[in-house]
Each structure stands twice: as C-alpha cells, then as structure tokens.
C-alpha cells in the first residue's frame, strides 16, 4: 500500500501543485486549507506523514503540531513555511516537527525529503497476527476484533495494544511505553500515556467487565 500524506496549506494553488506532484510519485494525498478537521483525520486514519504550513488561518501551524504531540499523535511532520529565520526553524523543531523546508522551495528536494522521512519512520510492527483472550490483532491489515467484532482504533492505539500483547502479564511502566510506542521517553508526558490507555480501554471494554488492562499503582500498566 502507498503511503498516505496529509498536506495543510492555505495557498490553494500551492496545495494543488503539492498534491499533483506527490500523487505522481504514487502517494495517496489529502489536502486541507486549514486545520479544522486535521486532528480528527490523524486520529482516525493511518496517516504516514503531515506536511504543514505555519502561516494558517485560525491557528499557527507549529502551535497546532505542538497540541497534536500533547494529545499523543506521533505522525511525522515536515514544515513547509515562509518563516525562515533560524529562530523560526528552531521553534518548529521544538514544537514537534521532524523536518523543516523553507519557502520558496525546490519541489525535487521536497520529494526527496518526503521519501527519506517515510523510509526512516516506516512501520515498526512486523506483519502477522497477535491475540490475547478474545482480542485479535491482524498486523497486515492493522485491524482489531474483540470477540469476533471489529473495533475501530487509531494507529497509536493499535501500536499500544501490540506492545501490551507482546509483553503480556508484564508490568510496563510509562517510560517503557513512551519509548516503545511513542518513540521518545523525554518529549512526551506521563499524562499522554494515561489518556491514550483510557481511550483504548473504553473501546475494547466499554462495559468495563473484562478488565484487559490493569493499573499497577505507582508502577504502570499490565495486560491481563
């Protein structure tokens, strides 16, 4: 399957040009002129890369990315921005960006950087299946079923559940989860883990009768 890329840029002509060139390279592209529904798309769909302008209506692009990171969304981000001072570039990285391209830019360079970013951040989970009790994860299609019923979960929740199943009956502290699921134990806070786990528990056990994931007070979490 081709990588899926989201672009956010309020210059409509530039957005169409980016979409055209990326689609020509074989990528699936979703373009937005503002950030209104971007967070929802990133949370619900398997997005491999976000290309983000900074001068946007309503919210500054790097501030938006910073909020995504606080919410536990780890989708790689390349800024494409006219903000080109050293302090602007530093600010973009500090707020959660992974790469920074200044406008005006060379399209060939952007395509090469996109390819390099996707290569570095490719899926870490190997193909195959995982199961625990009545949970079944198909890693090739990245789908979850609970007692035979398909459950919609985000990319982050899928990776989180994989980590628990791979370490079933072991207590995983928050630092372990931040490092192995989010990829960075320093950039994110423990609250990020707590929120993500609570959302996952609500989806796989809405009646709170199966108690798949238990909290080990003062230590972390365990899949039971």
CATH number at residue 74: 3.40.50.2300
**Predicted structure pTM score:** 0.58
Say if CB 52 and CB 96 are below 8 A apart. Answer: no
pLDDT tens for each residue of 142-192:
889 988 889 898 888 988 898 888 887 678 888 888 888 887 656 667 788
What dihedral do alpha carbons 68, 5, 44, 137 form, nearest 10°? -110
Positions of the chain with pLDDT under 50 = 1, 123-127
In a 3-state reduction of DSSP, which class is residue 150?
A: strand
Distance (Å, whole) CA 140 – CA 218: 35
Tell me, what's the pLDDT at 104? 93
Range of the domain at 169: 129-223
- The residue among 99, 120, 141 that closes a domain is 120
Buried b (16+ CB within 10 A) or exposed e, 144-174: bebeeeebebbbbbbbbbbbbbeeeeeebbb
The CATH number of the domain where 193 resides is what?
A: 1.10.10.10
Paired tokens of 140:
């090739």
Tell me, what's the pLDDT at 193? 86
Tell me, what's the pLDDT at 203? 92
- The residue among 61, 85, 120 that closes a domain is 120
Q: Give the H or E element holding residue 81.
A: strand 77-81
Based on the fold, state whether residues 92 and 142 are members of the same structural domain. Answer: no
Based on the fold, state whether residues 78 and 138 are members of the same structural domain. Answer: no
Tell me, what's the pLDDT at 187? 61
Based on the fold, state whether residues 12 and 54 are members of the same structural domain. Answer: yes
108 Cβ neighbours under 8 A, 6+ residues apart: none
Based on the fold, state whether residues 106 and 163 are members of the same structural domain. Answer: no
Based on the fold, state whether residues 48 and 135 are members of the same structural domain. Answer: no
Based on the fold, state whether residues 39 and 87 are members of the same structural domain. Answer: yes
């Amino acid at each position: 399957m081709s990588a899926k890329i989201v672009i956010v840029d309020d210059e409509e002509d530039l957005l169409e040009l980016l979409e055209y060139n990326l689609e020509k390279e074989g990528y699936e592209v979703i373009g937005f002129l503002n950030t209104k529904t971007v967070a929802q798309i990133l949370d619900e769909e398997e997005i491999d890369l976000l290309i983000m302008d900074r001068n946007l209506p309503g919210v500054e692009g790097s501030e938006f990315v910073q909020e995504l990171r606080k919410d536990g969304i780890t989708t790689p981000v390349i800024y494409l921005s006219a903000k080109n001072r050293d302090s602007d570039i530093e600010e973009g990285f500090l707020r959660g960006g992974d790469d920074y391209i200044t406008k005006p830019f060379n399209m060939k360079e952007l395509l090469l950087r996109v390819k390099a970013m996707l290569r570095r951040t490719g899926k870490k989970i190997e193909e195959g299946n995982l199961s625990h009790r009545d949970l079944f994860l198909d890693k090739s299609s990245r789908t979850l079923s609970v007692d035979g019923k398909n459950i919609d979960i985000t990319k982050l929740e899928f990776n989180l559940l994989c980590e628990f199943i791979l370490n079933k009956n072991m207590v995983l502290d928050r630092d372990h989860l931040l490092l192995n699921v989010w990829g960075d134990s320093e950039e994110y806070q423990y609250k990020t883990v707590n929120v993500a786990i609570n959302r996952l528990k609500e989806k796989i056990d809405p009646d709170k009768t199966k108690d798949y994931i238990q909290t080990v007070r003062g230590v972390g979490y365990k899949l039971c």
